[in-house]
Amino acid sequence: MTIQSPLIIAHRGAAGEAPENTLAAFQLAVEQGCHAIELDVHLSKDGEVIVCHDATVNRTTDGIGTIHDMTVEQLKTLDAGRWFDEKYEGERLPLLSEVFDLVPRHIMINVEIKGSYNRQLEPALIRLMQEYNRVDTVVISSFDHKSLLFAKLIEPMAKIGLLYDVNAVRHAALADLLGTNVYSLHPNFKRIDKAEVQDAISQGLQVYPYTLNDEKRMKQAIEYGVSGIITDFPARLRALLASPQA
């Protein structure tokens, strides 16, 4: 089996060096040469797809509140950069549409559904992917596998990826559970071994483990033959992949 160089997937953008899930973090990741960007989404009170990891704005902005209870107008008043470093003051919580506008189309976007809120988010997400001609360059992932099935039902061409954090399963068997339409597996790297990775890849699945930030684990994942590595430090992974021993 030929081992391909893994995709560099920037976790929440270049989240190790810029405020996570902001346009600044995505821009930096693109400049650092990532192949893909992972980000997390919630739905606002007025039905817009908002990029943020947590269900509340409390940790990553200067505000307090739950995203699903706030309108875009309210969310856009918040500062989403200063908590990380004052040089990022003025960053805002992005709409997914703003990320689609910013990130070149050849860069894959892994949209992780966090809060689907009674299945209201999936139709809004698919609508945006269609409107922005991103159906083929987005992979939708979630720990909520029913959410993925629903997205696939709305848009059969959508690529879906199973996120999971469990031990002692045959990982490719998880994809079997959902049928043959699963594009990728997104396991916690701590839970997998080389045989599992090779098994999944031989069944035609992409394997994108999260979240690998140190060189030792990145090298281990490369040796396993993973299809992509989700990292907060895309530049670090890029340098490693360019080094002769990688």
Question: Taking CB positions, which residue lies at the least distance from Mg ion?
Answer: 112
- Binding residue for ligand G3P, selected from 116, 137, 141, 206, defined by CB under 6 A: 141
Q: What's the min distance (Å) between Cβ of 151 and ligand G3P?
A: 15
Q: Find all residues with CB under 8 Å of 58, minimum gap 6, and list them.
A: 64, 65
42 is catalytic: no
Position 232 contacts ligand G3P (CB under 6 A): no
**Which of 36/172 has CB closer to ligand G3P?**
36
Nearer to ligand G3P, 87 or 116 (CB): 116
Q: Which of residues 187-216 bind ligand G3P (CB under 6 A)?
A: 210-211
CA 81 to mean position of chain CA atoms: 19
Residue 155 binds which entry of Mg ion, ligand G3P, none, with Cβ cut-offs from 5 to 8 Å by kind?
A: none
Binding mask 66-105 for ligand G3P (x = CB under 6 A): ----------------------------------------
Give the separation between CA 4 and CA 132, rounded to whole angstroms.
29
Contacts for 129-133: CB closer than 8 Å, 24+ residues apart: 129/155, 129/158, 130/155, 132/97, 132/100, 132/101, 133/105
Which of Mg ion, ligand G3P, none binds 196 (CB below 5-8 Å, type-dependent)? none
Nearest to 52 by CA among 40, 44, 62: 40
DSSP structural state of residue 244: T
Residues with Cβ within 8 Å of residue 212, at least 6 apart in sequence: 189, 218, 221, 229, 230, 231, 237
Residues 100-139, interacting with Mg ion (CB under 5 A): 112
Give the range of 40-48, 68-76, 200-208, 223-231 binding Mg ion by CB under 5 A: 40-48
Catalytic residue among 35, 53, 68, 145: 53
Which of Mg ion, ligand G3P, none lies near 163, with the C-beta cut-off 5 to 8 A by kind? Answer: ligand G3P
Q: Which residue's entry shows tokens 């269609």?
A: 130
